[in-house]
Structure 1
Amino acid sequence: MTRTRLEDLDLNLIVTLHWLLTEQSVTRAAARLDVSQPTVSHALGRLRDLLGDPLLIKSGRTMLATKRAEGLQPRVAEIVDKMRDLLLEEEKFEPSQQKGKFRIAAIDSVGAVVVRAWQKVVQPDAPFLELDILQPAVPQAQDLIAGKIDAIMLPEPKMLQLPPGVNIDEFVRRPLFEERYATAVRRGHRLENGIDTEGYIAAEHILINPEGLDVGVADLALKNAGLSRRIAFRTETFLLAREIMMNSDCILTGPASLFDPRADDYRVVDCPVKLPSFTMFIGWHPNWTHDPQHRWVRERLMSEIAYMAEHR
């Protein structure tokens, strides 16, 4: 058997093999590599000849990895990661010279938190870098899959309806902060010094319903106690709900990140109804993990957002 010398090997095949074993699909691997499907099919043929194994076998409409391929997958992934580190470790990164856009998909309340963090820890050192906040909606699905959106912020377990075709399990995920619910009223409201259960039920409320639901977390908790509240307004956006609260006698219960601790036109009070908290995560396409600009921005944002959540 003739051995293949490393010097004779096309190292692009290693990266192609990585995505083929990761995706177990020629089509999806081609999308990851940003090349045509025939190109990946040709590379798969070369890899089969080189390794003496079919690697991926068709089973109906899917492809299944062979035993050899399953054994190769973690080792190849490690090699690709080390190759990325080697190529990027000497790359100089100057934040003050960075231009372009950093795109984050997030619901508007979390987007507001991102903006505050960006202004504090990114913008001063990278003044020419632009921030784009996008709603995690259907039109952005392909950009998210293709890695054209830099990060997505969402709760876990999945409390948002993600766009069709977007599988969040394909992304790198890290916890950002523990989100709790809070209740707020405008300054001058008769309940600004505190709300008991009786006052909470008697008041009019604003329901934030991004998924179009008729009830929210507070309604479910009240129902379990044999109680209910009166909804005066419903809106799909968090920031509009906050605007309504500041210009009415309605109470707003929502994620604590919706409320700016620096605001002087409304006051956050303890909700008399016990509501469950949830973890907010940040996710990004694996291709961004070792990118110097992405790493610099995301690490600063993650640290500052976690700090803000802890000290609000």
Structure 2
Amino acid sequence: MTRTRLEDLDLNLIVTLHWLLTEQSVTRAAARLDVSQPTVSHALGRLRDLLGDPLLIKSGRTMLATKKAEALQPRVAEIVDRMRDLLLEEESFDPANQSGRFRIAVIDSVGAVVIRAWQKAVQPDAPNLELDILQPAVPQAQDLIAGKIDAIILPEPKMLQLPPGVNVDEFVQRPIFEEHYVTAVRRDHPLANGMDIESYVKADHILINPEGLDVGAVDQVLHAAGMKRRIAFRTETFLLALEVLENSDCVLTAPATLFNFSRGKFSIFDCPVKVPSFKLFIGWHPNWTHDPQHRWVRERLIAEMIRMAENCSLSGGPRAS
């Protein structure tokens, strides 16, 4: 068997292989490489000959990675990441003259926190950078694993149900702050001064469930205690729930961040049901770890969100308002 010398290898094939294994699509890999589809198809043929494996196999309208390709993917990604480190080692970053977009997938309640943090910590020094807020929905999964989305913010346990083969645990993850549940009603609600478990169960409730399920975390705790509440409204979005809360007699139990910028409209107090708190994490594709712009933006956002959590009651015990 003739061995291929590194000196004889076109190193562009490594980058092409990386995007082919990441995207599992010749068309999308060509778009990432900014070359034509036939160019990538030709490179795939060379890679198949070089590695002695089909790598990607057509299955209907999609392409599936072979076992060898799946084994190669993390190793190739690491090689490309190290190549980027080498090239970016001396690259300087000037925020004032930087343009482009930073895309974050995040649920709408925390999205408001991200926007405030961006306005405070990023925008003043990088006025030409644009922020895109996206819902962390399944259709975004391919963009996430391909690195087209810069970061995702999600709780633990994860709310985003990703399709098979997409594992968020492969991303770099950093904790931001701990989130807890509070209960809220409108200011002039009959129960605005608080409620016990009996009045809580009897009240009409709003359920926020991004996955569209019939019950949530509160209902699971109540069920374990042999109790049940009446859900009058269900919504998959957090901000729509605030509209219902402000204009109804309903009770809303939700993460405290949801109320951080609208406390004057509601009476907020400890939830009569002890729902476990959870941590919020920010995650990004390993390819972005050493990118100067990405590092600068995420470090500022993380620091500001942590500061907001410490100073604005995003973490710790709830405060009545």
Name the SS of the counterpart of 1:252 in structure 2: strand
- Change over 3 Å in CA distance of 1:149–1:79 after alignment to 2: closer
CA distance in 1, matches of 2:84, 2:263: 44
Identity %: 68
Matched, 1:65 2:68: yes
CA distance in 2, matches of 1:116, 1:143: 25
Does the 8 Å CA contact 2:96/2:126 hold for their aligned counterparts? yes
**Partner amino acid for 1:187?**
R
Aligned to 1:275: 275
CA distance in 2, matches of 1:200, 1:218: 11
Q: How does 1:76-155 map to 2 (within 5 A)?
A: 77-137=77-137, 140-141=140-141, 143-155=143-155
TM-score (norm 2): 0.77
Does the 8 Å CA contact 1:197/1:273 hold for their aligned counterparts? yes
CA distance in 2, matches of 1:241, 1:280: 21
Aligned to 1:294: 294
CA distance in 1, matches of 2:56, 2:135: 37
CA deviation after TM superposition for structure 1 residue 271, in Å:
0.6
Name the SS of the counterpart of 2:154 in structure 1: strand
- Change over 3 Å in CA distance of 1:73–1:245 after alignment to 2: closer
Does the 8 Å CA contact 1:200/1:272 hold for their aligned counterparts? yes
Aligned to 1:172: 171
CA distance in 1, matches of 2:218, 2:205: 10
- Change over 3 Å in CA distance of 1:76–1:60 after alignment to 2: closer
CA distance in 2, matches of 1:204, 1:168: 38
CA distance in 2, matches of 1:9, 1:168: 31
Does the 8 Å CA contact 1:178/1:280 hold for their aligned counterparts? yes
Aligned to 1:307: 307
- Change over 3 Å in CA distance of 1:32–1:279 after alignment to 2: farther
CA deviation after TM superposition for structure 1 residue 281, in Å:
2.8
Name the SS of the counterpart of 1:112 in structure 2: helix
Q: How does 1:181-220 map to 2 (within 5 A)?
A: 181-220=181-220
CA distance in 2, matches of 1:166, 1:120: 37
Aligned residues: 304
Does the 8 Å CA contact 1:155/1:278 hold for their aligned counterparts? yes
Aligned to 1:239: 239
**Partner amino acid for 1:148?**
K
1:58-96, Cα deviation, whole Å (9 max, x unpaired): 899652329xx96x8776554432321121122221212
Q: How does 1:28-43 map to 2 (within 5 A)?
A: 33=33, 39-40=39-40, 42-43=42-43
Aligned to 2:62: none
**Partner amino acid for 2:171?**
V
CA deviation after TM superposition for structure 1 residue 185, in Å:
2.2
Does the 8 Å CA contact 1:176/1:280 hold for their aligned counterparts? yes
CA distance in 1, matches of 2:138, 2:255: 23
Name the SS of the counterpart of 1:264 in structure 2: helix
CA distance in 1, matches of 2:19, 2:306: 33
1:274-312, Cα deviation, whole Å (9 max, x unpaired): 112333333334443333222211222122223333441
Does the 8 Å CA contact 1:113/1:305 hold for their aligned counterparts? yes
Mark the runs of 5 or more structure 1 residues left unpaired by the alignment. Answer: none
Name the SS of the counterpart of 2:271 in structure 1: coil
1:21-65, Cα deviation, whole Å (9 max, x unpaired): x65967586676465665455445655776xx5266789965232
Name the SS of the counterpart of 1:111 in structure 2: helix
CA distance in 2, matches of 1:122, 1:84: 24
CA deviation after TM superposition for structure 1 residue 253, in Å:
0.3
Does the 8 Å CA contact 1:205/1:252 hold for their aligned counterparts? yes
Aligned to 2:316: none
TM-score (norm 1): 0.79
